[in-house]
A = this chain, B = another copy of it.
Amino acid sequence: MEFDLAHGEAVLERTPRVLRALLADLAPAWIDATEGPETWSPSVIAGHLIHAERADWIPRARIILAQGASRRFTPFDRLAQFRESQGKTLAELLEEFARLRAESLETLGGWRLSESQLALEGEHPAFGAVTLRQLLATWVAHDLGHVAQIARVMAKQYREAVGPWRAYLPILDR
């Protein structure tokens, strides 16, 4: 499927509601659960999405749209949330994410991007030339990947509890 701006925005605007529906008011046993050492809990993932909203999608899109002398993106800090989420409850993180996402979508919509703008390029620190269209498609797929991850982390908490049904639930061993 080709990237379509309206289709992409429809997913992006849903993500804060999806996270709320999945996580709001759940017990710590769920929201702080992980898949083992060095893996992320639903709370950590919410913090990561907040950092991406601040440091990744819109800032990188601005670099591409400006077409300045340097179009190289600042490397993204995948661990920023361990610092930035300190002292915040999940309810606060979900609210912060919803607010930042709404702002991002307002900015994105305000640009009224043309096909030729979507084809403009920036420079990714690891793999070089990327287009604005690819960046926006990645934003959508990244949201969905983390929704799937949250559901998987939660499901895995019952890996033993399901007994022999484990054989029918591939998500428990992914």
Contacts and interface: CB of A to CB of B under 8 A. Distances in A.
A153 to B, nearest CB: 9
A163 B148 contact: no
B14 A22 contact: yes
A11 B170 CA distance: 19
Chain A residues touching B, majority SS: helix
A92 interface: no
A167 interface: yes
Contact of A145 (B135, B138, B163, B171): B171
Interface residues of A, number: 57
A136 to B, nearest CB: 9
A69 interface: no
A11 B30 contact: yes
Interface in A1-58: 1-4, 6-7, 10-11, 14, 17-18, 20-22, 25-27, 29-30, 33
